[in-house]
A and B are shown apart, each in its own frame.
Chain A
């Protein structure tokens, strides 16, 4: 069974695709059947992924050798484009994460989406789109060549678009979907340019072969850094890094289970995953761009800016899903920041790589759980505003406890999953750059603060709303409880004393050669102390302001922050800045292009057509109906035919410039025609008879 799973790893991606196709074409009219088919197939994919991951943990070499496969897609010139896949350690981990969270989300949706069915939204469409997303994400994860990666990348973008815009009759949902897709597209454009650059120099699309070529020197210096930064643009778009993060908060227009799956655990992780997978390319891109920055520094900087900016905005938000969305952006920023700390120089272990992937792994679990908790709360209270909630701990105990576990995990409570992964990240950043370490520490403190703010205002105190909140059914409770377990325990695979995760991930060929020369790293007590301090300070501040679960002290926040409060509440005016830029520059350029198109390009086509019409006006005169003119034509033609073969014509043809006369004649004809058309020359001639 395990052997079957490993040898047919492609089946994991194909199963959700099959369910999507079956639902779209066969079971559209029966929503419950669609739901069952979708859940069954994704569960099968989950079992296969678990078997593959189990084998990968036990015997990674077996998996590396046997899971690879390739299908020739098409050939162009001398290059074969193939659909190829391979499972390595990081892939195996991602397979389990994606399929597990997809399964739980699909189960959860069965109950959560039920109330929307009666409003006319189609269950079948929902499940078809969810399955399509699972297929795309698994395709992205399984592949080891750029072309299929890009295809999967775009497909997850499409699925995300479809799912965000699921409630298409709401005014704001299609706009949000469009915004998401456009922001993604901007990133994807850079990504494509990066891929093309890499392909041009290394003549291959396979990650490992390209990495080997680059190590052999095919791409160096500025070009490599440019390619790395362009490729990173894709991650910026997909994972919501600083300039292109604008779509993630708006993506909360989609149903909450979709937010849990796509915008917390999987799709946004694709960017981080991609950076990790092609890490060798980034690591070698050491050409200093500006003031000594290289590609990895750029990545770390963007990650750091994102982390702190999103945390800052999250502090003042009141929509539960927006808080979680900004939290996701911030955590992704942390992951990217950590990945930027990878360095093979000076004998430093590439801690950044393992820490980033570890946080990706743990974050998927507790963030998905937090989103599902928020969904449970939204389902119960029919509102998304935390100022209208409160006191839900008594009414929804299971949700409250799981949410508390998730909040503790994300804030870095000691012992929970988030603590170990955040500690690993801070350790890596501490080794790298002290300024970024300070930034990360402040960001982590803010994370603890706003997450506990969310918890206190939602679950503590007295209920401020008007509904009748109650605990949801088993389909919604089971995923919450199931995910609570890894949120607490999974961190223990990656403690600094027994870092099983690092050893597992190190088998990825990327990192193996670097770690063979590096020293073993025990726990860094300074960093661990910082982690504890961060948690204590953040949680303490939050408890001081919101501990009672009421809004009495919430004014204190706005007073203390002053002008910053307004900036944070308005999302740092980034959307407004984008709109201003579009207004001033993009629309002006678009207008100029449109004028160019109308008056230059269309004119060329029009002139050709006018020339034809002009010539026709000339030629029209041959059809006068005058019989004697026709007879004249006959006689002239006969004369021409008689004299065509004579010496006079032969001599004329010998002259080298006869074609000049012909060309001049043609141009004159066209010019006269055009002018005539414009100047109504012919009108006068024809009408006067």
Chain B
């Protein structure tokens, strides 16, 4: 069977949804960051698929993906630093317990 654009889009959607699900329901803060990386992966697949099928000569989508990977690496580092500080203050990395940002 020939792979069309839609197949890749479905794959990207699936990856993204799983990532978002992980972000929203993880109890562990590090797990949230991992799920976020999964979402990035889904977005990347989406971009590359569009780049390949819509504008085959140009490498726009692939360039965009390289940038995403760079930025996500930096942001993961920063996120882990934040979790580190939170752990220092709350003695826990449990997302449900660090809910003091309210009235």
Binding site for B on A (CB under 8 A): 620, 623-628, 631-632, 635
Contacts and interface: CB of A to CB of B under 8 A. Distances in A.
A632 B99 contact: no
B71 interface: no
B20 A623 contact: no
B11 interface: no
B39 to A, nearest CB: 11
Contact of B95 (A620, A628, A632): A628
A625 B100 contact: yes
A635 B16 CA distance: 12
25 contacts: A620-B103, A623-B102, A623-B103, A624-B99, A624-B102, A625-B99, A625-B100, A625-B102, A626-B95, A626-B96, A627-B95, A627-B98, A627-B99, A627-B101, A628-B23, A628-B24, A628-B25, A628-B26, A628-B32, A628-B95, A631-B23, A631-B24, A632-B24, A635-B20, A635-B24
A624 B102 CA distance: 6
A208 to B, nearest CB: 72
B3 to A, nearest CB: 27
A interface secondary structure, majority:
helix
Nearest to B25: A628
Q: Tell me which of A623, A624, A628 has the highest count of chain B C-beta atoms within 10 A of its own C-beta.
A: A628
A618 B42 CA distance: 36
A623 B101 CA distance: 8
Nearest to A689: B96
A626 B20 CA distance: 16
A623 B102 CA distance: 6
A259 to B, nearest CB: 70
B21 to A, nearest CB: 11
A304 to B, nearest CB: 78
A220 B67 CA distance: 97
Contacts of A623: 102-103
A633 to B, nearest CB: 11
A594 B47 CA distance: 74
Contacts of B98: 627
A627 B99 CA distance: 7
Given A623-B102, A624-B99, A628-B95, 11 more contacts: A623-B103, A625-B100, A625-B102, A626-B95, A626-B96, A626-B99, A627-B95, A627-B98, A628-B26, A631-B24, A635-B24
A46 B101 CA distance: 83
Contacts of B24: 628, 631-632, 635
A627 to B, nearest CB: 7
A622 to B, nearest CB: 9
B101 A625 contact: yes
A620 B103 CA distance: 9
A632 B24 CA distance: 7
Nearest to B29: A627
Contacts of A632: 24
Contacts of A627: 95, 98-99, 101
A635 B22 CA distance: 13
A686 to B, nearest CB: 13
Nearest to B102: A625
Contacts of B96: 626
A629 to B, nearest CB: 9
A635 B17 CA distance: 11
Interface in B65-103: 95-96, 98-103
A631 B35 CA distance: 14
Contacts of B32: 628
A249 to B, nearest CB: 68
A627 B26 CA distance: 11
A605 B32 CA distance: 48
Contacts of A628: 23-26, 32, 95
Nearest to B20: A635
A638 to B, nearest CB: 11
A640 to B, nearest CB: 16
A247 B8 CA distance: 100
A624 B99 CA distance: 7
A631 B100 CA distance: 15
Contacts of A631: 23-24
| Smallest CB-CB A-B distances: 5 pairs | A625-B102, A625-B99, A623-B102, A626-B99, A625-B101
A626 B98 CA distance: 7
A627 B102 CA distance: 10
A317 B100 CA distance: 85
Nearest to B26: A628
B96 to A, nearest CB: 7
Contacts of A626: 95-96, 99
A682 to B, nearest CB: 15
A626 B96 CA distance: 6
Contacts of B20: 635
Contacts of B25: 628
Contacts of B101: 625, 627
A627 B23 CA distance: 10
B2 to A, nearest CB: 30
Contacts of B99: 624-627
A625 B32 CA distance: 17
A530 B32 CA distance: 118
A2 to B, nearest CB: 84
Contacts of B26: 628
Nearest to A635: B20
A625 B99 CA distance: 4
A269 to B, nearest CB: 72
Contacts of A635: 20, 24
Contacts of A625: 99-102
B102 to A, nearest CB: 3
Nearest to B95: A628
A623 B103 CA distance: 7
Interface in B1-49: 20, 23-26, 32
B36 to A, nearest CB: 10
Nearest to B100: A625
A468 B15 CA distance: 119
A276 to B, nearest CB: 75
Nearest to A630: B101
B67 to A, nearest CB: 22
Contacts of B103: 620, 623
A274 B78 CA distance: 94
Nearest to B103: A623
A377 B43 CA distance: 112
A281 B25 CA distance: 89
A625 to B, nearest CB: 3
A493 B99 CA distance: 102
Nearest to B99: A625
A624 B101 CA distance: 8
